[in-house]
Amino acid sequence: MSLLKNYFTRTIFFIIGDAAAIFLASLMSYLIINSVSDFAYSYPTISSIAIILLSITFLGSFKMYQVSWRFTSLRELMMIVNSLAVSSLIYLVFLFSTSALTIFHVSYIALVFIQSILYIGAFRISKRMSKEVLKKPYLKKRAIIFGAGNAGDQIMRDITRHRHWNLNIIAIFDDSEKLHGLSMHGVLIKGDRRQMYQFLRYNDVDELIIAIPSLSKPELKTVIKKVKSITPNLEVKVLPSFHLLSDDPVGVKNIREISIDDILGREPAKIDLELIRSSLMGKTVLITGAGGSIGREIVRQCASLDAKKLIALDIDETEVFYIQKEFQNSNKCVVPCVANILDEERIDMLFENEKPDVIFHAAAYKHVPMMEVFPDEAVKVNVEGTRVLASLACKHEVDKFVLISTDKAVNPTNIMGATKRIAEEICLSYNELCLTKFISVRFGNVLGSRGSVVPIFIDQIRNGGPITITHPEVKRYFMTIPESVLLVMQAGEMGSGGEVFVLDMGEPVKILDMAKQLIQLHGLKPDKDIDIEFIGLRPGEKMYEELLQAEEGVLSTNHKLIHKAICGKKLSNNELDIMVAKLKREMKYNNHEAIRKIIKQLVPTYTFNGEINGLSSKEGALNQLADQE
C-alpha cells in the first residue's frame, strides 16, 4: 500500500513539474513572438492548455513517469523529445483539419516545442546534476538491504555504529512475511523481493546490499538479473557465503562487489573443516607455487586451520613478498622461501632444515597455448620438478605429498595436460618406494585465477570490448578458488597413498554464457554495448574438458564431490627414470618433435598434430598466440 501511495505521489509531482515547464515555455514563446511581430496577439490560452494536456498524456504513454529521477539519461531525453514532437504534430493536424491553422500558431507551437524540451529536460536532469556534478563529499549513499536476518542485523549495527561507511539505509526487504511491517534499527522492513523490485522502480537508490549468505546461486542470479533490468547502474553488493567459514562478526567490511563466481556454478561444497584441521594441527606444511592463485589460497586456509608452520615457496620473489606482507601482523608462522623446485640441492637443504610433514605441490606451468610453444619448459617444471620433490619427500620421510593436477591430464591434447599426467604417474610410482603417501587431485578451472578468462574478459569490458572467445560452443568446468582448495585439502586428508582423486566440478559452463553474464554485471548489454568476437581454438585447446579417462572408472568416497579414479601406475620407477632421462636429453637439443613422441610413449592417450597449426618457427607460433590473446 505504501509503495502504491509513493508511486502516486511521485507521478503527481512529475506531472505538476512538467506542466509548469510547458506553461513557462508557452508564456516565453508568446512573449518572443509579440516582441518581434508587428501585430499584438492575445495570449493563446486554449492552445496552451491543449498543448499541456497532450504533452502530459504522451509523456505518460512514453513511460516517462516510471523513470527514476536520479538516473535520467540521454535515452530519457530522447523520449521527452519524441513525446513533445507527437503532441505538437497532433495539435497542428487538429488546427489544420479545423481550418484554424495560422502562421502565428505554427510559430508559437514550434517555439513551445523547442523550449519545452529545454525546460522539461532541465527539470528532469536537475536531480542527476545535483548528485553527480554538484555532489558534495559528505553526501551518503542511499542504500537498501535485502535480508533482515542475523547478517542484515549485524550490518545495520555496524552502519549505525560507524558513520564512516557513508551509507544511508532507506529500506529493508525480506521474504519472511512475519517480519514485514517491523523495523530494524529504525528502518522499516517494507516487504519481500517483489516489493523491493517495485521500490527500485520508483525510488532513487545507489546501492543494494544482499545480506543473505545462504541464498542459493540460482536465486542470487535471479535477483541480480531482475534488479539490473530495472536499474542497470545500481551497485549490488553481497555478503559471500564463504564468510560463514569464519567466526568473526559480520560487518560492512565483509560485503563486496558482486562477481561472476557469485552466480556461476553450483552451490558451495560442504567441507569438514574440523577433519582438515585435525590433519594439519601442529604440522609443518610446505606449499610449492605459493605465489599462484591456488598456492596462496592453500597458505591462507592452512593458516586458518592451525598448521604449526607454513613454508611458502615460489620462484617469484615478488609474490613471496606479498605473502609475507599479508601475514606479517598475524600470529601465524609463515616462512617465505624463494627457490626453484628444479634446484635439487637447495630443496634438499630446505627439507633438512624445515622437516615438512605435508607437501602441497602446486608449482607448475599451466598456460596451455604457451606450453605448446615451450614444451621443454613444461617438461622441466611439471615433470622433472615433480620428480625432484617426490624423491626428496621419500628421502626425508614426509608424511603426505598432495599433487595439484588438472582435468587437462585426461586424454590430453596439449603438452601441459600430458606433463601433468606424467606427474601423476611419478607420484604413483614413488608411492610404493617409501612411507610417504602420494596423492593426486584433478580439477578444472578456478574462477579469478591468474590466466583465467574472467580477468581477461573484465579488462576487455573496461576497455569497451570486444570480448574475444575461441568458439561459441566451447565449455569448461569452473569452481571458486576457496572451494577448490578446501576440497583438495579434504581429499588429501582422505587419501592413504596411491590415489588419484577427481573433484566433481558440476555441470560444464559455456564460455559464451559466462561472457554475457559478465557484461550484464557491468550494467551493459551483450552485442549492443560490448561486442563478442570468436577467434578460433588456440593451440592445444579442446572444445570440452574431461575429468576421467575413457578407460578409467570411478569409485565414490564419503564426500559426494570427491571421487576416486580407478587407475594404477603403468610404469615402474626405473622405467619412468629412463623415459624422463630421454626427455632431458632431447630437451638439450631443443627437439620438440622428439619430446612429443616420448611423451606419447609415456601417455598413450596424448594426441598432437605435429608443429603448432603448421607454424614452423617459434617466432611464428608466438605471434599467433599474441594475436589470439
Residue 348 to residue 338: CA distance in whole angstroms: 14
CB 250 within 8 A of CB 154: yes
Residue 261 to residue 448: CA distance in whole angstroms: 8
C-alpha closest to that of 504 among 530, 477, 524, 464: 477
Residue 528 annotated among the catalytic residues of the structure: no
CB 227 within 8 A of CB 203: no
DSSP H/E element including 119: helix 103-128
Q: Which residues contact 519 (CB under 8 A, 6 or more apart)?
A: 461, 467, 525, 526, 529, 530
End-to-end CA distance of the chain: 54
DSSP H/E element including 441: strand 437-442
Inter-residue long-range contacts of 485-488, CB under 8 Å, 24+ positions, other chains counted: 485/294, 485/297, 485/298, 485/301, 486/269, 486/271, 486/273, 486/276, 486/301, 487/269, 487/271, 487/441, 487/443, 487/559, 487/561, 487/562, 488/294, 488/298, 488/360, 488/402, 488/404, 488/441, 488/443
Q: Cell 541480480 belongs to which residue?
A: 224
Residue 123 to residue 119: CA distance in whole angstroms: 6
CB 416 within 8 A of CB 408: yes
* Pairing mode, strands 358-361 and 207-210: unpaired
Residue 227 to residue 478: CA distance in whole angstroms: 25
CB 70 within 8 A of CB 204: yes
Q: What would the grid cell of residue 137 be?
A: 563529499
Phi, psi angle pair for 290, to nearest 5°: -65, -15
Q: Which of 190, 408, 437, 569 is catalytic?
A: 408
Phi, psi angle pair for 395, to nearest 5°: -60, -40
Which residues are marked as active site?
408
